[in-house]
Amino acid sequence: MSEEADLTQEERRHEERSRKHKAVVDARIAAAKVDKGLVLVLTGNGKGKSSSAFGMVARSLGYGRTAAVFQFIKSKEDVGERAFLARQPGVSWENCGEGFTWETQNRRRDIAMAQAGWEKAKLALADPEVSLVVLDELTYLINYRYLSLDEVLPPIRDRPPMQHVVITGRAAHDELIALADTVSTIRDEKHAFRAGVRAQIGIDL
């Protein structure tokens, strides 16, 4: 008796259910035919927003594609992701910040850095050779009014049609969410920090 003929009743039911489910999923997949550059927004107060953006950089590199990363809050010294990804062929990396506003305590200087960073980001957003643009912690620059929506939205909207953009940060503005193709809100259910664990190398840094 073959293995196939030897299925239990439960296994047979599972096979039948799976076949039906597959038909539904396949139909949905067949209906999705469009290829386009996406705007993804990763927001919310939970852990995983920036790391998800960097995972997409890794994915892109798997296809030999290029990525331009702009970190609008973090300074150069902070970051493991920079140490590894910035040295990869096809990746450009700019740190356009000096820490959060309560660290720098100088609004004028923060605004100047944000504006200078955004000028560089605009060049990437106009460059069809760049497959993926990461705008890490961009939401804060809008929420703190370091950059206006009128400055931020048009270069994203008018970018090359196949270029992907990933935007991270808490409390994404409604206009960013409206512009996005995909939005994930990452909710903080539990965080080691509240149990007295400091930021861990390779996880948080």
CB of 92: closest distance to its own copies in angstroms?
A: 16
Toward its own copies, which CB reaches closer, 46 or 155? 46
CA distances to 10, 13, 183 from 5, rounded to whole Å, are 13, 13, 46
Q: Which helix (H) or strand (E) holds 172?
A: none
Q: Which stretch binds its own copies (CB under 8 A): 21-29, 68-76, 119-127, 146-154?
A: 21-29
By CB under 8 A, the residues from 67 to 126 that bind its own copies are 79-85, 100-108
- Structure tokens, 172: 């994404």
CA angle 83, 84, 86 (to 5 degrees): 75
Using CB under 8 A as the binding rule, the residues of this chain from 134 to 153 that contact its own copies are none
Specify whether the CB–CB gap between 91 and 66 falls below 8 A.
yes
Distance CA 83, CA 200 (A): 16
Q: Give whichever of 51 and 126 is closer to its own copies, judged by the CB atom.
A: 51
Answer for which of 2, 5, 150, 190 binds its own copies (CB under 8 A) is 190
Does residue 185 interact with its own copies by CB under 8 A? yes
**How long is the chain?**
205
Per CB under 8 A, does 154 bind its own copies? no
Contact 98, 75 (CB under 8 A): yes
- Does residue 29 belong to the site contacting its own copies (CB under 8 A)? yes
Question: Which of 73, 130, 142, 180: binder of its own copies (CB under 8 A)?
Answer: 180
Strands lying side by side in the sheet with 39-43: 39-43, 164-168, 132-136, 67-71, 91-95
Task: Give the interface segment with its own copies, choosing from 23-31, 69-77, 113-121, 147-155 (CB under 8 A).
Answer: 23-31
